Structure 1
Amino acid sequence: MKNSVFALLYVLVILGCNSQPKENNIQTNNLESLVAKFEDQLKNELENGRSVSGAIIVDNKIIWSKAFGISDVDRGIQADTTTIYRTGSISKSFTAFLMMELVHEGVIALSDPIELYLPEIKNLDGYSDSTRITFRNLAAHTSGLIREPNLKDAATGPISGWEAKVLESILNTSFQYGLEERFSYSNIGYGILGLALSRAADKPFMELVKEKIFEPLQMDNSYFVVPEDKIFSLSKGLEIGPHGKINREKPEREHMGRGYKVPNGGIYSTPNDLAKFILCNMGFSVKLLSKDNMARMQTIQTPKGNWRSYGLGFGIQQDSLLTAIGHSGGVAGYRANLVFDKDRGNGVVLMKNYSAGDPNINKLSYDLLRELAILDK
């Protein structure tokens, strides 16, 4: 296994400075124990023939990165920290981040109606002057649009044709709720958002994400289309159906494209690359956004009393201990989760190449973030 394992920051400090106060040694031992427990749970709950990979950030540094299991059963390839997975809806966080970069550059304003750049949106069923959707509405899921278009095969087709699928889907999309009435998760909303951003910047959407996010953050294993020389690093997805039946064909087919679902679910990446994205969103590493614009993304935008709190491209979960910011993703054969605690500089990323079964990466990620916050009290 070609794991690139990052040593714990605190362990390095201990080894390099014997005069460290005793209470910090106790803190270090607690952190080591916590990470070891987390690692054991991943390994023990992982079933044969599957893989899971993760990264942990503590105090704004990647302190742990490992992969376990088999990424490709057919070829017997062991997963390592360069193994590539699909991110699913974590892609929405990148689309929203790109939006804020264009806001920062003065290309668009959050309050701009989408119709200024994508007049085809007027073809939505029920569209009127009272439903002029803005960039903020789409990014915060407050547009009121239905989750998926009523279009057969909207989520199939080559990646090169995703824009045409968005335009076709608009004709088959309607409102489920009133504008800004409530949080209403909409995949087609993010498809429209990505196309509108591309129109506003006058550049292809995938090219914008690569130039404005992947490249400056050195996310060298992140793509919309995995290049030929990286195919060997792509994990083979396993879609788990009723009674545990495994479907390999659907995940394989979706590598060729998912119709309109590019801005809302098209990114491939690794936990280490996603950790770089977390660090950027916590204000460390490369500065791509101002503090004000990052704060906008990480501030609740949904109306009070909604069942879910959402910012711009990020879900937000708050309690008396911490504010957890992040996004999960799920597509055929893959699951991923990204969550961070900006106040303390901690974060967790987990990805796996199967759609159902333990470990529960959403719960594990959030639980670890909470335990890290408790250690920091």
Structure 2
Amino acid sequence: MKTLITIITMALSSLFVNAQMTSEKEMQKSLDNSIPVALKENNVPGMAIAIIKNDRVIIKKGYGFSNVSLGVKVDSKTGFNIGSISKMFTAWGIMKMVEDGKIDLDTPVSTYITKWKLPTSKFDEDKVTIRNLLQHTAGLSVHGYNGYESKEELTSITKSLSGNSREEEAVKLIMEPESKWQYSGGGYSILQLIIEEVSGETFGDYMQKNIFKPLKMKHTSFNIDKKILKKSAKAYDEEGNEIPLQLFNAQAAAGLHTTIDDLILFAKASFSKNTVLTEKSISLLRTPTELSKGNYGMGYMEMNRFGDFTLHGHGGSNEGWHSGFMLDFESKSGIIILTNGSSGRNVLFGGLKDWAQWHGSN
């Protein structure tokens, strides 16, 4: 993910060049011309995009195919896996528990979990808190996760944390907490366990009840069931060949499935008063840490190297999927891009580039 953050930043930092697009129609025309070409050149079957300007959705469109063999086209209701953007939602789930008085950001995580413990190390595990798990400053291993091709291969989050599912999934304390920023999907797996133990529910059920249902996100879920799969796009590799959908024990880090329509609801809820989190809590999640050099808060990346506006959000990538969710909170604007191909980052960054050039000039 550090690589993804770097690529997004580089793409956005070189935007203000030559002609400026001055109208929404010109932006739409630019996308209509460039995206189909980019999809074809990169063997990416489909893409969904939404652009918000001043809290108003000005573009919402699908390009290409969600299912090539059946000729099903992408639309705003097509489901996509969004990879590490899942972490942003997990952060909302944790902050909801904080607001409800069920957990404290600065209490050692060992206070809340009984089913698994960090392996003994030379570092101080009592310094591992919910706050530094969210910030990727807890000193933990496991950058990211590979998925599983069938539900039968899935186990519990505790077995994943222990490395019983796969050895490389074992989460360990590898440096002193609060000494360095190091991206750790493993830290979000601990947050998943905390939500399960404190709520007494599965992680997916808690998120459905406390985050997605109140925000009316009816087609968003960590529980990948028949309802979600019915409208889901297929995943495709770098050559454009269909591959199996990857499922995750580490749902909190990488397992969320959603649609452009639902992400628009989330974006608009983020900009204004909503039924889940206060404005103060959302601001806290977005605020970057010094250890991240101003690039990461709690579940949110921050980017401000490309003009007079700052973006907050996250990128996501799993095998067969690439996505981006970036918001300018000051102007209540943003862009959401979802793709169903392993080479989707090339299409993604082209769309981000066009949008940021247009956004910066309007």
For the aligned pair, the TM-score class normalised by the smaller chain equals 0.7 to 0.9
The residue identity in structure 2 corresponding to 1:331 is N
Match of 1:113 in 2: 108
User: Is the CA contact 1:328–1:362 (under 8 Å) kept in the aligned structure 2?
Assistant: no
| Change in CA separation of 1:146 and 1:123 when aligned onto 2, cut-off 3 Å | closer
User: Is the CA contact 1:322–1:370 (under 8 Å) kept in the aligned structure 2?
Assistant: no
Moved more, 110-119 or 275-284: 275-284
Match of 1:291 in 2: 279
Matched pairs, number: 334
User: Is the CA contact 2:321–2:344 (under 8 Å) kept in the aligned structure 1?
Assistant: no
**1:141 maps onto 2:136 in alignment:** yes
The residue identity in structure 1 corresponding to 2:339 is K
Match of 2:162 in 1: 168
| Change in CA separation of 1:194 and 1:358 when aligned onto 2, cut-off 3 Å | closer
Match of 1:182 in 2: 180
User: Is the CA contact 1:58–1:346 (under 8 Å) kept in the aligned structure 2?
Assistant: yes
Provide the TM-score with structure 2 as the length reference. Answer: 0.83
Moved more, 270-279 or 40-49: 40-49
Instruction: Tell me by how many angstroms 1:162 deviates.
Output: 3.2
1:17-96 map, 5 Å: 30-47=23-40, 50-96=45-91
Instruction: Tell me by how many angstroms 1:373 deviates.
Output: 3.5
Instruction: Tell me by how many angstroms 1:291 deviates.
Output: 1.6
**1:355 maps onto 2:334 in alignment:** no
Moved more, 118-127 or 108-117: 118-127
Match of 1:311 in 2: 297
The residue identity in structure 2 corresponding to 1:175 is L
Which of structures 1 and 2 has the bigger CA Rg? Answer: 1
The residue identity in structure 2 corresponding to 1:263 is A
| Change in CA separation of 1:40 and 1:70 when aligned onto 2, cut-off 3 Å | same
| Change in CA separation of 1:163 and 1:64 when aligned onto 2, cut-off 3 Å | same
User: Is the CA contact 1:91–1:267 (under 8 Å) kept in the aligned structure 2?
Assistant: yes
Instruction: Tell me by how many angstroms 1:210 deviates.
Output: 0.6
Q: Give the unaligned 5+ runs of structure 1.
A: 1-26
Write the deviation string for residues 118-175 of structure 1: whole angstroms up to 9, x where unpaired: 14554324165465310011111011111249xxx98547386232333423993323
Q: 1:336 aligns with which of 317, 323, 331?
A: 323
Instruction: Tell me by how many angstroms 1:222 deviates.
Output: 1.0
Instruction: Tell me by how many angstroms 1:358 deviates.
Output: 6.6
Match of 2:242 in 1: 248
1:177-326 map, 5 Å: 177-240=175-238, 244=239, 246=240, 248-249=242-243, 251-252=244-245, 254=246, 257-258=247-248, 260-283=249-272, 286-303=274-291, 306=292, 309-319=295-305, 321-326=308-313
Write the deviation string for residues 166-185 of structure 1: whole angstroms up to 9, x where unpaired: 34239933234321122111
User: Is the CA contact 2:21–2:358 (under 8 Å) kept in the aligned structure 1?
Assistant: no
> Structure 1 vs Structure 2: percent identity of aligned residues?
24
Write the deviation string for residues 184-233 of structure 1: whole angstroms up to 9, x where unpaired: 11111111111112212222211111111111111111122344245342
User: Is the CA contact 1:68–1:80 (under 8 Å) kept in the aligned structure 2?
Assistant: yes
